[in-house]
Structure 1
Amino acid sequence: MSLSMLLNAVCVGQNHVAQEQAERRATAELMFELGQKAYGKGMYGRAIEFLEGALTIIPRPTLFGGEIQIWLAMAYEANNRHADCIDLYQQLEKRHPSPGIRRQASELRYILQAPKLKISQEEMVTIPMIGSSYDSYAVTWSDKERDKDRRMNASTTNQLNSSEDFLGKLLVWRPPVGMEKNKVFWLSLTLWFGLVGAALLLQR
């Protein structure tokens, strides 16, 4: 076999391997996507199957492999496999070459294993009920407004009564003797009545 034929065979083989790897990665990406969708729909068992299947194709130490394992650990926890979840997080913390994957695994594990705070009855925040105080305030305000209205009505009634008494006295009034035909007297009296009437209207 000539050298050129050998080189061609090598190139063909490399292309075939590259194509096969691309197809396998596409399959892994599809399985990863299906695992995420299953997780989002609450189908945690199916999510675990897809994610574990993706890890049979993608090497675990890679960045993509680390991302798949993070999702797999979350699916373990959601599927009540708490021990498997913690174990996978710890493996990622210790062995994965990506600092980002190690940090994310550490933070998620810490959240799961953080001690639950126990709050005593004395430490609980009590929110006061404002209903009674609000009702009391509303009643007090209503009473004040009612008293204010009563005082205003009484004042208006007194003004009307005094005006009526004044007008009543005017109706029975008689001009002085000798002034019945005095035009100046009647003109002055008419002007005076007009001023008094205007003053009464302005008071209302």
Structure 2
Amino acid sequence: MTLESSPSPQSKTPSVPDLSEKLQRKLDQLDSSEKKAQAREQLVTGQAAFERGRYKKAIAHFQTALQLSNPIGMRGGEIQLWLVNAYIAAGEDQAGLALCRKLIRHPDLDTQRQSKRLLYILEAPELELKPEWTTKIPDLSNLDEDNGKQYAQKAKKPRRRKPKPEPEPLDLSQVNTEDNQFVWIALIGILLTLIGLIWLS
């Protein structure tokens, strides 16, 4: 009885290099307008995956978009910047830093500028937090329900407001009722102002 070797389940699935070769052959068959449209679609899909926290999926979409576009063009630079962010978010810091360093010499000036800023942030030393800068929040999950009742607030009684004292009535005999000529001075001032306005107009 001879045993024939049956194909293993691993041999049925193509390996990663086989997939990339198939993808490359399909990409070569597309014309440039189709490539641009698919690159744009892959970029948008990658951005959506990135914003949802699916960084590995975003990396795959960004890599496909990069293969479909010109890597030294403006769109290629934008895709590579997104790819750097996805690498860093996925925990692949070394790949992200290497690509970001490579983008510093990119032909597109905007890509160069953004990659320099991003690299400056990524390579910045981690700040040291001093204990006096932080507030320690106590763990309240260990409190019993009985202890919570112990610290309950008592109902406050409304305060009675004291009525305001009435002002004392004025004694009119003490009020100075002498004419201090203020009314006449004010009337003369108004009259002079009116004459001046008429004269100037």
Q: Output the CA distance in 2 between the equivalents of 1:75 and 1:23.
A: 25
- Map 1:168-183 to 2 at 5 A: none
Q: CA deviation at 1:125?
A: 7.7
User: What is the match of residue 40 of structure 2?
Assistant: 29
- Map 1:93-132 to 2 at 5 A: 93=104, 95-121=105-131, 124=133
- Among residues 78, 83, 97, which one is paired with 1:72 in the alignment? 83
Secondary structure at the residue paired with 1:60? coil
Secondary structure at the residue paired with 2:126? coil
Q: CA deviation at 1:119?
A: 3.7
Query: What 5-or-longer segments of structure 2 have no aligned partner?
Result: 1-29, 136-158, 166-201
Secondary structure at the residue paired with 1:56? helix
- Among residues 47, 51, 54, which one is paired with 2:58 in the alignment? 47
Identity %: 35
Q: Output the CA distance in 2 between the equivalents of 1:120 and 1:40.
A: 32
| Structure 1 residues 121 and 42: alpha-carbon distance in aligned structure 2, compared to 1, 3 A threshold | closer
Secondary structure at the residue paired with 1:96? coil
- Map 1:184-199 to 2 at 5 A: none
Is residue 87 of structure 2 the alignment partner of residue 81 of structure 1?
no
Q: Residue by residue, what CA displacement relative to the aligned partner does 1:32-56 show, whole Å, maximum 9, x if unpaired?
A: 1111111111111111111101111
| Structure 1 residues 117 and 49: alpha-carbon distance in aligned structure 2, compared to 1, 3 A threshold | same
Query: What 5-or-longer segments of structure 1 have no aligned partner?
Result: 1-18, 127-144, 156-204
Higher Rg of the two aligned structures: 1
Q: Output the CA distance in 1 between the equivalents of 2:127 and 2:46.
A: 33
| Structure 1 residues 125 and 54: alpha-carbon distance in aligned structure 2, compared to 1, 3 A threshold | closer
Secondary structure at the residue paired with 1:61? coil
Amino acid at match of 2:117: E
User: What is the match of residue 142 of structure 1?
Assistant: none
| Structure 1 residues 119 and 48: alpha-carbon distance in aligned structure 2, compared to 1, 3 A threshold | closer
Aligned residues: 116
Find runs of 4+ consecutive structure 1 residues off by over 4 angstroms. Answer: none
